[in-house]
Structures are given as C-alpha cells and as structure tokens.
Structure 1
Amino acid sequence: MSIEVIKPGLLSSLQDAGRRGHAALGVGRAGAMDEPSWRLANALVGNRDEEAALEITLAGPTLRFRQSAVIAITGGILEARADGQRLPLWTSCFLPAGTVLRLGVMRHGCRSYLAVKGGFDGEPVLGSRSTDLHARMGRAIQAGDILSIGAHAGARWFRSGKQIRALRWGLDPQPWLDYAQAPLALVRGHHYAALDDASQRALFAQRFLISKDSNRTGNRLDGTPLRLREPLELISEATLPGTLQLPPSGQPILLLAEAPVTGGYPRIGQLAAVDLPRIGQRRPGNGVYFRETSMDEAWQRLRDRDVSLRRLLQRIEQRLEST
C-alpha cells in the first residue's frame, strides 16, 4: 500500500515517539512535537503507539491514496477535504482507493497529525522512523514522493466500499489543545541565579513572542533582552527538549523535539515536560508567558496527564471494537 505526494505542504515529515536513549552517541530524540495528538491519531485508526504518522506544520499536503485506507487527523485544526468532500477531524475515516486528500491551512495550532492504519512504513534508524531535520536523518516529504504503508488487517468498523465514510463519533480536541495559551510552567535552571535581578523578574513576568526564526530544534523568543550579572565561560553541558538557553543576544531559545544533546549557552530554565505539546502547537507570532513551577508539581502534572491519556486510549480501543 502506498500514498503519492502531489503537494508537500509547508513542512510535513514522518514522526513517531523518537530516538530515546541515544544521547551518549550524540543523537537527539526528535519525534512528534505534540505526542498526545500523535498517540490519539494512531489510536483512532487502531494502530499501536509506536507507528509513525505524518506531522504537518501550518499548511498541509495534498495526497493521493493508491489503495483504500483508514485515516485519522488530530492536533491543530485545519480543513480536510477528500475528493472535495469535507472530512471531520479527530475521528476515524475510510478513504477508497484513488481518493485525493487535500489538507489546508491551520486555523488553530501549529501541527496536525495524519495517521493511517498500518502506519507509515520505512527503514527505522536507531529504532525510530522519525525524521530529524537538524541531524539530517531523513527529510521533509516532497512532491512525487511515494509513502509506503505497513501491512495490516482491515478495520472492523468499516466495510470495504467505494464511499468516503467517517465514524459517527469522535474526540473532543478541547482538552488536548492549548486554546487559551495559558502560561507555561518553567523550573529554574542551573544558571538562573546568574541572571541579574531585573532579568530574573522579567523571565516570569514579561510576554515573549515566538520568532519567525523558529523550527523543530527550538523556538527563539523575542522580548526585552535578559542579561547576566557578569559574563560566563561555560563548557558544553547536557540539554534536552524544554531546556531554556540564553545566548549573548539576550533573547532566550527554548529547545524542542530536535534539541541537540549538548549546548554551551547558560541554561536558565527547564520547561515542564507536560507543557512541551503546548509549546509545540504555538506558531511564530504567538505569545509565551512563563510561570515558575517546582519539580514535584511538574512530575505530578505529567503523571496526571499520562493517566488521563492512557484511559482515553483504552476507551478508544474498546469503542472501536464495539462499533
């Protein structure tokens, strides 16, 4: 089974949970920027958690399905049309062979996820099919590409046919999308105390704007420059997604999914892991406020989110089996 890329969209790439556990080799994680949306898209088509999906940034691709397929689209809100017919998001849909799927401009959020039953196939690298643009592991899809789909059994909840169909039920995106763009929780970093007094206050008080020079490696944050009490001479130290660095410009950089494994800038904060999907759904020009949090609170919020997500994944599986 395969899908032909007619138009690639702004930036679309295959992503899964990423390459965890290879930092000692200098290899970052990569993976989906909004992991819950990626997991929910896979669940809606009956995939296992680890299947790769297509991560779509701001404007989607146009794809031709050479064989029939079961798909789901989650994450940021965009218009999806299959052979001109409007397609619902956050639910399971059947597309017959030959269907052309056009995904438009995102109205809310920054990244959507297209999952297909069987998952997008490809040769894993270090146990992952994720594209890492920063490390040049794979590339964004291009016009003319043929995307392979893994072997799978048919979907019990759809009978074969020539009609585009969607389930009568779907998920509410509200709990999973950051509509209010509330403050993001930040733990003080190793070099927070090196900020001068005004910058320490500004870090948790001012509104930053996500720069147009942002990508999957990191968001550059524009605002009143933050300053150190005195220059620091540092050796490179470990970094990971969510590390907030302060380069000489005074404009912080919040590292994201394709974060390098080491960095030499002062580390003034660490974003709570539970808020990584929220920053992953903010686009250039969006505002960012930080609020201070503790490690205990950050861990508890992550545990609570994961419990809710696991329960929903189980409920989706049960609902599909009974449909």
Structure 2
Amino acid sequence: MIEILSVTGPASVQDLGRFDQYRFGIGTAGAMDDVALRAGNILLGNDENAAGIEIPMVPFRLRFDRDMAFALTGAGVEAEIDGRVIPPWWRSHARAGDLLDIKAMPRGARLYLTVGGGIDVPMVLGSRSTQFRGEFGGLHGRPLQPGDILPCTASAATIGELGVEPAEITLARPNTAADETIVRVVIAGEYDGFDAATQALFWSSSWKITPQSNRYGYRLQGPAVKPRVPIEKRSHGIVPGVIQIPPNGQPIIQMRDAQTSGGYPKIATVIRADLWRVGQARLGSKLRFEQTAYAEALAAEAEMSAYIERLRTIVRLIEEIRTCRSS
C-alpha cells in the first residue's frame, strides 16, 4: 500500500480509460497522457493498462508501506526518495517506510507515478480510472486527499533501476517554440461552415490555454473564429480531441473527462497520436494547429506505436541481460 501525505490539486487514479460505455453516455476518463502511463507500466513489467496516479500539480508527497518498484514518467520532475534524487522516466526501488517527495515540475503539465503491479482500486465499468463528472472509479470517485491509502497489487517483477528516453524527445515535433505546442488535427464536420479567411485564421493563430482548462476540456483564447452564419445542431456524439467552437468563437478541445455529446459546431479534431501533447501543455502556454490528412494521422499513430514497441523491446532485453549475468 501507499499513503498519500500531501497533495496539491486534483491528483487521481487513472488507467487508459473506459472505451465501451459510450452508448450509455459515459465518457472515457483515463490518463491525459496515455503514452507516459504506458511507458511507466512498461518500465515496471506491468500490464500497460495498470492504474497509476496522475499528478497535475506539485508538491506531492506519499509513503510506501512495503518494498516495491515504482516509476515517474510524463512531465519533467524534481523528486527525491529517502533523500535520493529520482530522474524522470525512471524506474526505482522504494523500501517500506520510504517517503517520496515530488517537489517541482519544471516542464510539462502532468506526472505519472506507476508502481509494480499497479494501483489496485476496484474496477468500475471495466476501468479503474477516476471519472470526476460521475464521481465513480478511482478512489471513491474523487481527487486524492491526504490520509488516503491506496492498495497495490503484489508484483514479483525485477526492481533494479532503469530509465528510458522520454516521449517528448523521441516524438518531438520540428520547429516548435519553447512555449508552444504544435498538434496535428484533421478537419471536422462543420469545417466548411467557416469561410476561407476564418479557416486561415484558425491555422495561423497561436491559441493560449486559459486557466479555465481542465480534464473536461481546454478552453483557448485567441482571435474569434465564427462560422458564416450561426450553426445550431442537436447534441450528437463527440470524443476526446474534438475542437468545438461556441458562440464566442473561442475554441474548446474536449479532453478525457469530456461529456459524450454536444451541439457546438466542430471545426477540427486532434489526432489520437497527439492528444497526449495537449495533455502535457501547461496553462498559459500556447497551442498551434497543423492540418493533417487522414493518411498522415495513421502514420503518426504508427510512429507512436513504434516508440512504445521500442520501449518494450529495450526493457525486455535489459532484463534478459541482467538475468543472464546473475545466473
């Protein structure tokens, strides 16, 4: 088990999400940066869907109640365990009673703590993810609080230290400014309802992520983008990544806790291979949208999958070498 000692902001238990409940109006939830969660679980020899802790704000402190392996992935981090510095994208070993102090997050927006075997909260509708909107999943359907005890599945996996190259390096987008995130999008259903000048404005603008952004959606600030004539639609299905344009012309990107339907016109959709980049974009930073064809979106998905497969291969080979040396 691990005990939460101090927490800042809405940290929560998340796995990769629930994807078979849309017909009941239940959204996906799940890690905002699924690449980082997968990487942490790969480092630990877990199932890649094992639940971890998503930490969007620091400081954050917890105590390990037994020996176990753990990993920190996602955002850049300044962290220590028992006075020893823990790098990001790194597997390490905690002993019973050790305190993990996560002090700062110099870059990125979300850190993931995974543990050997995974966080063992109950499955709800096929997932351990916390769904804030419905108040279910995770630990009592709410953000973590000081004093919370999280059970962990026992794991016999190797617990030696090991690190991997962060996704932000391997999957970096070219020509990106330090305070700007470029995300690829495909045009959506109501794109042709915007005139050519407005479409060009959407592509050329840098969009500021406002403080009103959260796991439900990222509300952006920039020049008003409005259709030729008001578009009124019945509520219909939407998914994470959809970019809607409300009447004020300021885009909203639907994120992992988004509702499953909405009526605002859709101008574009963030491709799945780049949604994790949005999840790691900090409040106050800027996004820029890059139009992408369907074939290019599939290629980006393949590139992301190849990165995950390389991590699996690297970790497996290192463990095999260690086993051979110890035998």
Please indicate, yes or no, whether the TM-score normalized by the shorter chain is above 0.5: yes
CA contact (8 A) 1:43 1:317 kept: no
1:171 aligns with 2:164: yes
Which residue of 1 is the match for residue 110 of structure 2? Answer: 111
What are the superposed Cα offsets for residues 21-65 of structure 1, whole Å, 9 maximum, x if unpaired?
210010111111111110110111121112101111032420011
> How many residues end up aligned between the 2 structures?
312
Shift of 1:117: 0.3
8 Å contact kept, 1:185–1:271: yes
Partner of 1:48: 47
Is residue 2:66 matched to residue 1:63? no
The within-5 A match list for 1:1-323 is 2-137=1-136, 138-153=141-156, 155-158=157-160, 167=161, 169-173=162-166, 174-176=169-171, 180=177, 181-323=180-322
Decide whether the 8 Å contact of 1:73 with 1:90 is kept in 2.
yes
**Quick check: 2:181–2:277 contact (8 Å CA) kept in 1?**
no
| Alpha-carbon shift at residue 67 of structure 1 (Å) | 1.0
Amino acid at match of 1:156: T
> Tell me, what secondary structure is at the counterpart of 2:76?
strand
CA contact (8 A) 2:65 2:96 kept: yes
Distance 1:108 1:249, change over 3 A: same
Q: Distance in 2 between matches of 1:75 and 1:44?
A: 13
- Structure 2 contact 78–85 (Cα < 8 Å) conserved: yes
Q: Could you state the TM-score of these two structures normalised by the residue count of structure 2?
A: 0.91
State whether residues 7 and 58 of structure 2, in contact with CA within 8 Å, keep that contact through their aligned partners in structure 1: no
3-state DSSP of counterpart to 1:109: coil
1:109–1:177 CA contact under 8 A, matched in 2: no
1:53-98 superposed Cα distances (whole Å, 9 cap, x missing partner): 1111032420011111111101101111112221222121111110
Following superposition, the deviation at residue 314 of structure 1 comes to 2.6
Task: Give the letter aligned to residue 130 of structure 1.
Answer: S
Q: Which residue of 2 aligns with 1:164?
A: none
Distance 1:182 1:61, change over 3 A: closer
For the 8 Å contact 1:177–1:278, the answer to whether it is kept is no
- Corresponding residue number in structure 2 for 1:163: none
5+ long unaligned stretches in structure 2: 323-327
Match of 1:161? none
Distance 2:251 2:158 in 1: 49
SS at match of 2:200: helix
Provide the alpha-carbon RMSD of the alignment.
1.6
Residue 11 of structure 1, CA deviation: 2.3
1:217–1:282 distance in 2 versus 1, CA, 3 Å: same
SS in 2 for 1:93: strand
User: Which whole-Å CA distance do the structure 2 matches of 1:254 and 1:235 have between them?
Assistant: 19
Secondary structure of 1:221's counterpart equals strand
Unpaired segments of 5 or more residues in structure 1? 159-166
Please tell me the residue identity of whatever aligns with 2:203. F
Q: CA deviation at 1:196?
A: 3.2
> Letter of the aligned partner of 1:146 in structure 2?
I
Kindly state the Cα deviation for residue 176 of structure 1 after the two structures are TM-superposed. Answer: 5.0
For residue 44 of structure 1, give the secondary structure of its aligned residue in structure 2: helix
Is the Cα–Cα contact under 8 Å of residues 6 and 64 in structure 1 kept in the other structure? Answer: yes
Is the contact between residue 34 and residue 277 of structure 1 (CA under 8 Å) also seen in structure 2? yes
For residues 310 and 100 of structure 2, the distance between their equivalents in structure 1, rounded to whole angstroms, comes to 31
